[in-house]
Amino acid sequence: MKKIVFMDFEELKKRNQLIAEEIKKRNNFVIVNHHDADGLCSGAIIAKALERENKKFNQITAKQLYSDTIREIKNSGENYIFVDFGSGQLNLLEEMLEKNYFVIDHHQPVKSDYLFHSNPFLFGFDGGKEVSGAGMTYFLAKELNEKNKDLSALAIVGAVGDMQDYEGELTGLNRKILADAEEMKLIKKEKDLRLYGKISRPLTQFLSFSSNPIFPGLAANDKACVDFILNSGIELKEKNAWKTYSDLTKEEKKTFTSNLIVYSIENGFSEWKAQNIIGETYTLLKENPKSPLRDAKEFATLLNSCGRHGEAHIGLKVCMGDRINAYQNAMELLLEHKRQLRAGIEWVHEQGLTEEKAFYFFDAEENIKEEIVGIIAGMLYGSNLVSQKKPIIAFARQKDGLIKVSARATDDLIRKGLNLGKILRETCMELGSDAEGGGHKIAAGCRINLWQQNSFKEKLNKKIADSIKI
Ligand SMILES: [Mn+2]
């Protein structure tokens, strides 16, 4: 079994060598990356790698790679490198860009034998959970120059940004990258609480603001949180400053964590959901201990705050090493991002979801930005609003009037055979015209016209019900 995996990795390596050789021969590149955390990490990794090869390049960040996006970027350079998307659009790229493009991606690919295309699915690996766009870009960067091993930490941030650690730890090819990052003394892995804000949130807010999961009774209830903390024998302050989880002693962390698990089970969590708040965490050893960049998950959220709010260049600068101006700007965007996520979650709680035959559904219209509606849909699995038994489909309105569709599922559903990326792509093809989309089994997106929404939902209900046998 192990041998087969090794062979496949050798094939992936060969593909990357071929691409690396070709990149070395060419110049004047346009890097096109996706706007989420993984996309920005991918963009930064290839930018650093091209810099090291003394290549000239421009960088473009896009929300999605639709046909009109490709039309817009056409003629902006000589050679294109698409990272963290493109595998689903190879036919379009071929049509519009001929042979001067490279695709480094981990989304489900369409059928194609294009050689300047690196994707884990082509070599027997699961791009949904064992390697991210940043990871794939990292493997290519390593073929360009062994020095690029120092970019391994960014590849870990990308993987965590795409929630590839959702089963408790990174697996598969991500493990190879992790080994590089540990060897370079860039990252330390340890078993710990996996809640957001260990460094950046005072303990009370750490519990009351937690949205993944939401703790019933503690959420938005500072008094209950204070009681919980004091009952765990932990002081709220140290020398007048609010303590964060990262300030606690080893013993205090242990008590806090086990009390939280007990509390969760007593308040309705399944054993699985309660245990899932512990898992492997990834500390970036070169970052300031007080900075959110110190933790891979918080680093990824900071990047999402930039990319998803139209300030990708700031996130890219942070990835490239800026810890002064861009970092300050990113910290401000982070506050705004968190505020919008909280408001979005609250909005869904107030409005409620509808339960359809095969999925949960909400239409945020203009109340939630299309850029973050998918994140919010995913976070709802941490609440008691939905069960794990059906996927979540969310609509939001794009600026151009089209509907942005975001779909999220659980690992259980994937095991039952659900593949959201494939289902969305097929549904869009059936709808024709402007509908385009795809993605991962567990998270996917597309866009449709207003007038298509009923037939879209109908088709989706049928396809999902068929695949998970409802
Ligand atoms: Mn990705």
Which residues, in sequence order, are bridge partners of residue 395? 363, 405
Distance (angstroms) between ligand 1 centre and the Cα of 255 equals 36
Distance (angstroms) between ligand 1 centre and the Cα of 181 equals 19
Assess contact for 318 and 382: CB atoms under 8 A.
no
Question: What pLDDT is attached to residue 383?
Answer: 81
In the chain, the number of structural domains is 3
Assess contact for 245 and 193: CB atoms under 8 A.
yes
Distance (angstroms) between ligand 1 centre and the Cα of 92 equals 20
Residue that is last in its domain, among 323, 344, 365: 344
Distance (angstroms) between ligand 1 centre and the Cα of 82 equals 12
Distance (angstroms) between ligand 1 centre and the Cα of 318 equals 18
Residues of the chain with confidence (pLDDT) below 70: 1-7, 433
Distance (angstroms) between ligand 1 centre and the Cα of 378 equals 15
Distance (angstroms) between ligand 1 centre and the Cα of 453 equals 27
Q: Enter the tokens of residue 463.
A: 């396809």
Amino acid at 366: E
- Angle of the 296-307 helix axis to the 325-351 helix axis, nearest 10: 80
Task: For tokens 């706007």, name the residue.
Answer: 35
Domain range holding 334? 195-344
Same domain, 362 and 339: no
Same domain, 172 and 58: yes
Question: What pLDDT is attached to residue 4?
Answer: 46
Same domain, 446 and 311: no
Strand, helix or coil at 445? Answer: strand
Same domain, 8 and 105: yes
Same domain, 260 and 375: no
Distance (angstroms) between ligand 1 centre and the Cα of 238 equals 40
**Sign for the pseudo-dihedral over CA of 353, 404, 435, 426:** negative
Same domain, 334 and 426: no
Distance (angstroms) between ligand 1 centre and the Cα of 466 equals 27
Same domain, 234 and 215: yes
Distance (angstroms) between ligand 1 centre and the Cα of 81 equals 15
The whole-angstrom separation of Cα 247 and Cα 227 is 19
Distance (angstroms) between ligand 1 centre and the Cα of 132 equals 5
Same domain, 333 and 377: no
Question: How far, CA to CA in Å, does 303 sit from each of 34, 425, 455, 469?
Answer: 12, 27, 36, 38
CATH number for position 106? 3.90.1640.30
Distance (angstroms) between ligand 1 centre and the Cα of 63 equals 12
Distance (angstroms) between ligand 1 centre and the Cα of 366 equals 26
Distance (angstroms) between ligand 1 centre and the Cα of 137 equals 11
Distance (angstroms) between ligand 1 centre and the Cα of 36 equals 7
Which residues, in sequence order, are bridge partners of residue 60? 32
Question: How far, CA to CA in Å, does 189 sit from each of 11, 283, 326, 448?
Answer: 29, 6, 27, 41
Same domain, 114 and 13: yes
Assess contact for 147 and 158: CB atoms under 8 A.
no
Distance (angstroms) between ligand 1 centre and the Cα of 3 equals 27
Distance (angstroms) between ligand 1 centre and the Cα of 79 equals 22
Strand, helix or coil at 83? Answer: strand
Question: What pLDDT is attached to residue 204?
Answer: 96
Distance (angstroms) between ligand 1 centre and the Cα of 139 equals 15
Distance (angstroms) between ligand 1 centre and the Cα of 180 equals 20
Burial 226-264 (b: 16+ CB within 10 A, else e): eebbeebebeeeeeeeebbbbbbeeebbeebbebbbebb
Distance (angstroms) between ligand 1 centre and the Cα of 133 equals 5
Residue that is last in its domain, among 344, 364, 379: 344
Question: What pLDDT is attached to residue 6?
Answer: 52
Same domain, 159 and 288: no
Distance (angstroms) between ligand 1 centre and the Cα of 410 equals 17
User: pLDDT digits over 360-373, tens only?
Assistant: 999 999 999 999 99
The whole-angstrom separation of Cα 76 and Cα 242 is 50
Residue 394 parent element (H or E): strand 392-397
- Angle of the 133-144 helix axis to the 37-52 helix axis, nearest 10: 10
Residue that is last in its domain, among 284, 318, 344: 344
Amino acid at 363: D
Using alpha carbons, select from 87, 91, 89, 82 the residue that is nearest to residue 62. 82
CATH number for position 400? 3.10.310.40
Which strand ranges, in their side-by-side order, compose the sheet holding 443-448? 354-355, 360-363, 392-397, 403-408, 443-448, 436-439
Same domain, 157 and 274: no
Task: For tokens 């650690």, name the residue.
Answer: 165
Distance (angstroms) between ligand 1 centre and the Cα of 266 equals 36
State pTM to two decimals: 0.91
User: pLDDT digits over 123-162, tens only?
Assistant: 999 999 999 999 999 999 999 999 999 999 999 999 999 9
Distance (angstroms) between ligand 1 centre and the Cα of 69 equals 18
Distance (angstroms) between ligand 1 centre and the Cα of 136 equals 10
Question: What pLDDT is attached to residue 127?
Answer: 95
The four Cα atoms 238, 244, 248, 253 give a dihedral, to 10 degrees, of 150
Same domain, 310 and 357: no
Query: 147: Cβ–Cβ under 8 A, 6 or more apart, which residues?
Result: 52
Task: For tokens 């590849």, name the residue.
Answer: 155
Distance (angstroms) between ligand 1 centre and the Cα of 304 equals 12
The whole-angstrom separation of Cα 320 and Cα 64 is 23
Using alpha carbons, select from 433, 373, 430 the residue that is nearest to residue 407. 373
Amino acid at 43: G
The whole-angstrom separation of Cα 433 and Cα 430 is 9
